[in-house]
Amino acid sequence: MIDLKDLRERPDRYRDGCRKKGMAVDIDRLLVLDERRRSLSTQRDAVRAEQGKVEKEIGPQIGKLAGALKKATGDERSRMEAELEALKARPAALKARVQEFEAGVAEIDPELNALLLSVPLPPDADVPVGTSGDDNVEIRRWAPPAQPPQGLGTTGEGPWGFDAKKPYEENRGFRPKTHVELVKDLGLADFERGVKIAGSRSYVLTGDGMLLHNAVLRYAFDTMTLRQGFKAMSVPVLVREEAMVGTGFFPAGREQAYHVEESKRGGGHDQFLTGTGEVGLMALHIDEILREEDLPLRYTTVSTCFRREAGAAGKDTAGLYRIHQFDKVEQVVICRADEAESRAWHTKMLGYVEELLQGLGLPYRLLQCCTGDLGVKNADMIDVESWMPGRGEMDKQGRPMGDWGETHSASRLYDYQCRRLNLRYRPAATAGASGSGGGSGEGSGGGDRTPTVFCHSLNNTVAASPRLLIPILEMWQNADGSVTVPPVLRPYMGGKERID
């Protein structure tokens, strides 16, 4: 959620943000509603204030009179009844006016809130303007060195020395199989039975396929927890709507989430399956006020992710690329509201991923996403794409030419998400500023408390599998059809070196 006050002060910033992100939100309408709402509530509050005064004045009189009335009889009784009614007239009139204003506010609120939730966070000035993924800008790429670093592989095996600009055959000396062929030939996945059980875009990982999947996740999780010191978490993947709205996935992405209607428990809330562990991790501190000393919070989780992939019909239908259910190790950081700090974390979080991919020897590139590719909640997003030899167009001989495929996405959100989550911290008091011993009398002192501030948040993929199995299998395959297990994964596969 954006800051409504800021929107009032500089609406052009938000108009511009909408334009750059290619989202149509009626900022002017929002301003009108906001103006109207504030006017109504100010008037309402004034009447309420009067109401309070009147109440203090008349309340006791009414109490006394009502008490006396019980004992009164005859003429005196009816006289007192009339008096009582007369006394009640003023508060009753005020109440009616309050209700009028409230009705006005109640009429505006739903539309105002809906609009407010849909205003995107304006992209940062240094994010290139563009309309789609095609306008994303490559920042840098990494290619595995010809000599594998200590312990990461054997020369001549796997992706060492691979140059993504050259055809696979030129690199490796044999024609590659696609991951779909590999999993079929090696018995790593069973798509037919997956579909039988669960419908389209479903799969079953079998035998070594499952072991490899598990190994990747464990490798990623251990990297984050043991090496980087992130706190290991297991969070719900079945969550309430508040968590989806709070993390910024709703309302915009509602049609991408699976909706689970709770079994008739009164007016029980519906629940939704999360498409990323980010939801559970970020919703953890919803409505909390943290202490500055406790920041930054660094969390990692491994969770099953569910995505409807609505609107992607016909895209990437084969294989493990675009599926409804997968597992992902995710990292989030919740830090102080400081742009420099939050940018520094963004870089670090990308660094962890680079280290991980380099450990696997996979060629990758970093893309600065353009404004049109950001989504509502991001100010900045960097995608990591890994080289997938089996993807892309076919050449004249009917061989896939390979293509980059998105495997990671690192977002920087400022306080957009934490505003929605109502997640704040109280800055540690900055001592010294309000010089206590100064010239003015010491009496008045005390309570200059620091106001609370919304945290900044960031998130990044660590590893999403089975998608990440695609480059692993395709890059580590051998001419004989076997696949070498990347050395970093072997400890998680009982030391197994080769799948054949």
Partner RNA sequence: GGUGAGGUGGCUGAGCGGUUAAAAGUACUCGACUUGAAAUCGAGCAGACUCGAAAGGGUCUCGGGGGUUCGAAUCCCCCCCUCACCGCCA
List, as own/partner pairs, every contact residues 190-197 make where C-beta atoms lie below 8 angstroms and the sequence separation is at least 24, other chains included.
191/319
- Report the residue number, 63 or 156, with the smaller CB distance to RNA: 63
Per the listing, tokens 């299998």 go with 473
Q: Which helix (H) or strand (E) holds 302?
A: strand 297-306
Q: Give the span between the Cα atoms of 271 and 238, in whole angstroms.
A: 6
Say how far residue 374 (Cα) sits from the centre of its chain: 12
Residue 62 lies near RNA (rule: CB under 7 A): yes
Residue 43 lies near RNA (rule: CB under 7 A): no
Active site residue 181: no
- Report the residue number, 10 or 38, with the smaller CB distance to RNA: 38
- Report the residue number, 41 or 325, with the smaller CB distance to RNA: 41
- Report the residue number, 5 or 396, with the smaller CB distance to RNA: 5
Q: Closest separation between CB of residue 44 and RNA, Å?
A: 7
Residue 88 lies near RNA (rule: CB under 7 A): yes
Q: Which two three-digit tokens encode residue 43? A: 């008037």
- Report the residue number, 311 or 447, with the smaller CB distance to RNA: 447
Q: Closest separation between CB of residue 91 and RNA, Å?
A: 3
Let me know: does 214 contact 492? Beta carbons within 8 Å: yes
274-303 residues near RNA, rule: CB under 7 A: 289
Residue 96 lies near RNA (rule: CB under 7 A): no
Residue 242 lies near RNA (rule: CB under 7 A): no
Let me know: does 167 contact 484? Beta carbons within 8 Å: no
Residue 91 lies near RNA (rule: CB under 7 A): yes
| CA-wise closest residue to 209 among 176, 185, 177 | 185
Residue 68 lies near RNA (rule: CB under 7 A): no
Q: Closest separation between CB of residue 442 and RNA, Å?
A: 6
The set of residues, in sequence order, having a beta carbon less than 8 Å from that of 157 and lying 6+ positions away, is 476, 478, 484
Q: Which residues of 363-455 form beta strands (DSSP E)?
A: 364-368, 380-388, 403-412, 424-426, 453-454
Q: Closest separation between CB of residue 67 and RNA, Å?
A: 8
The set of residues, in sequence order, having a beta carbon less than 8 Å from that of 135 and lying 6+ positions away, is 128, 129, 370, 372, 373
Q: What is the CA radius of gyration of the chain?
A: 30
Residue 100 lies near RNA (rule: CB under 7 A): no
Tell which one of 74, 151, 199, 447 touches RNA (CB under 7 A).
Answer: 447
Active site residue 409: yes
Q: Give the span between the Cα atoms of 331 and 12, in whole angstroms.
A: 34
Residue 397 lies near RNA (rule: CB under 7 A): no
Tell which one of 199, 398, 451, 495 touches RNA (CB under 7 A).
Answer: 451
List, as own/partner pairs, every contact residues 275-278 make where C-beta atoms lie below 8 angstroms and the sequence separation is at least 24, other chains included.
275/249, 275/305, 275/306, 275/307, 276/303, 276/305, 276/328, 276/330, 276/459, 277/235, 277/237, 277/301, 277/302, 277/303, 277/305, 277/328, 277/329, 277/330, 278/247, 278/330, 278/332, 278/459
Q: Binding mask 2-21 vs RNA (x if CB under 7 A, - otherwise)?
A: --xx----------------
Exposure string over 41-66, b if 16+ CB within 10 A, otherwise e: bebbeebbeebeeeeeebeeeeeebe
Q: Give the span between the Cα atoms of 481 and 186, in whole angstroms.
A: 8
Number of CB atoms found within 10 A of residue 31's CB: 16
**Residue among 36, 322, 343, 426 flagged as catalytic:** 322
- Report the residue number, 436 or 440, with the smaller CB distance to RNA: 436
Q: Give the span between the Cα atoms of 466 and 477, in whole angstroms.
A: 16
Residue 267 lies near RNA (rule: CB under 7 A): yes
Q: Closest separation between CB of residue 224 and RNA, Å?
A: 25
Residue 83 lies near RNA (rule: CB under 7 A): no
Start-to-end C-alpha separation, the chain: 51
Q: Give the span between the Cα atoms of 140 and 134, in whole angstroms.
A: 16
Active site residue 322: yes
**Residue among 303, 342, 386, 409 flagged as catalytic:** 409
Q: Binding mask 424-443 vs RNA (x if CB under 7 A, - otherwise)?
A: -----x-x----xx----x-
Q: Closest separation between CB of residue 117 and RNA, Å?
A: 15
Number of CB atoms found within 10 A of residue 477's CB: 28
**# chain residues binding RNA, by CB under 7 A:** 40
Tell which one of 19, 42, 234, 395 touches RNA (CB under 7 A).
Answer: 42
Stretch that binds RNA, among 196-204, 209-217, 303-311, 447-455 (CB under 7 A): 447-455
Residue 55 lies near RNA (rule: CB under 7 A): yes
Tell which one of 92, 103, 129, 197 touches RNA (CB under 7 A).
Answer: 92
Per the listing, tokens 């100064």 go with 438
Tell which one of 197, 445, 491, 497 touches RNA (CB under 7 A).
Answer: 445
Using CB under 7 A as the criterion, which residues of the chain lie in contact with RNA when the complex forms? Answer: 4-5, 38, 41-42, 44-46, 48-49, 52, 55, 58-60, 62-63, 66, 88, 91-92, 95, 263, 265-269, 289, 429, 431, 436-437, 442, 445-447, 449, 451-452
Residues recognised as catalytic:
307, 322, 406, 409, 467
